[in-house]
Structure 1
Amino acid sequence: MSEQHFSRLNNINTGSQKLGRLILQLQRLEREPRSYGAAGVLTPSEIHTIDAIGCDEGVLMSTLASRLGVTKGAVTQLVTRLENKGLVKRTSHPNDSRAVIVSLTEKGKVAYHVHEGLHQTFYDQLSSQLTKEEIAIFEKCVEKLSEILKK
């Protein structure tokens, strides 16, 4: 085996190991509840649900299930938990009696904004350590990785 071939294999293995460690770190983050200010402690699935609702004034339950990539039954359970915590409210659709609209309460909006702030802080830290070109490459890599993982 040539030295160049060995070096290439070593780089692939090192990159693969780093990616594996990153995935493990992300999995750990996805299991741990976190405090969102006055909204209290929320699980990752709860804050992701709030995030999926927060970008609109109100969203149909079916649309929410689609955004989260879960069943309607699963989204109903999540919304019930969030409703019990005072973070979301359900209302009937004005034109379709079978449809339900979910929206954030004031307390839910607090959680949404705290979560958005965490994302902005992360991006600010990244921006302070990388050039614009490196950020563009990073974003392209994340996009490609997401595509691969969807398969």
Structure 2
Amino acid sequence: MTPQGQRINDKLVAVYNDIVQLEEIEIKKSQFKDLSIKEIHTINAIGMYHRKTSSEVARALKVTPGTLSVSINNLVRKGYAERLRSDDDRRIIHLGLTRKGRLMYRLHQSFHRQMVQSFLKDLNEQEVTLVEKALDNLQHFLDEHS
């Protein structure tokens, strides 16, 4: 790896670790201290408006339905999510957020919005496009290796 490649790698690792650590710290200081990062990302994947099935949420999180089921059970028990039967086909169960879950969703979205604004601060449109292209390349690599 080139020296520049090593510096970029070190920065990517540090940023990832710092984001996770900051999210954990902020959660513990909030009224949502009963949630794990994994549960917060599950809330985010359920989303606010479109009622998704467990399969759709599991695919979005890249986890098995069984793994998701454990998270959903915990979120239902803690009062953040609910299972809703379809009006059209009672066998189909959609996932939704309770009022408490929607509040957590908005808080998490706000954190990410602030983080992205800070990340792109003082960049011009061409630089933002370049950043987006680099992130697309990274995502493509991750998709190929998962």
TM-score band, normalised by the shorter chain?
A: 0.7 to 0.9
CA distance in 2, matches of 1:132, 1:96: 47
Q: Find the aligned partners of 1:70 and 1:59 in 2 and give their Cα distance.
A: 15
Counterparts of 1:115 and 1:145, CA distance in 2: 23
Structure 2 match to 1:23: 13
| SS of match in other structure, 1:96 | coil
For 1:77, what is the secondary structure of its paired residue?
helix
Alignment-derived partner of residue 61 in structure 1: 54
Change (3 A) 1:112 1:148: same
- 1:28 deviation in Å? 5.8
Does the CA-based 8 Å contact 1:60-1:101 persist in structure 2? yes
Structure 2: where are the runs of 5+ without partners? Answer: none
Q: What is the TM-score normalised by the length of structure 2?
A: 0.82
Q: Whole-Å Cα distance in 2 between the matches of residues 28 and 122 of structure 1?
A: 12
Secondary structure (helix, strand or coil) at the match of 2:121 reads helix
* Distance in 1, Cα, partners of 2:103 & 2:33: 10
Relative distance call for 1:40 and 1:147 in structure 2 (3 A) is: same
Unaligned runs of 5+ in 1: 1-8
Structure with the bigger RCO (C-alpha within 8 Å, sep 6+) is: 1
The answer to whether the Cα contact below 8 Å between 2:84 and 2:93 also exists between their aligned partners in 1 is: yes
Q: Counterpart of 2:102?
A: 109
Whole-angstrom distance in 2 between the partners of 1:73 and 1:80: 11
Question: Which stretch shifts more, 91-100 or 131-140?
Answer: 91-100
**Identical-pair percentage:** 26
Task: Return the alpha-carbon distance in structure 2 between the equivalents of residues 17 and 109 of structure 1.
Answer: 39
1:59 touches 1:101 (CA, 8 Å); kept in 2? yes
CA-based RMSD: 2.3
TM-score (norm 1): 0.80
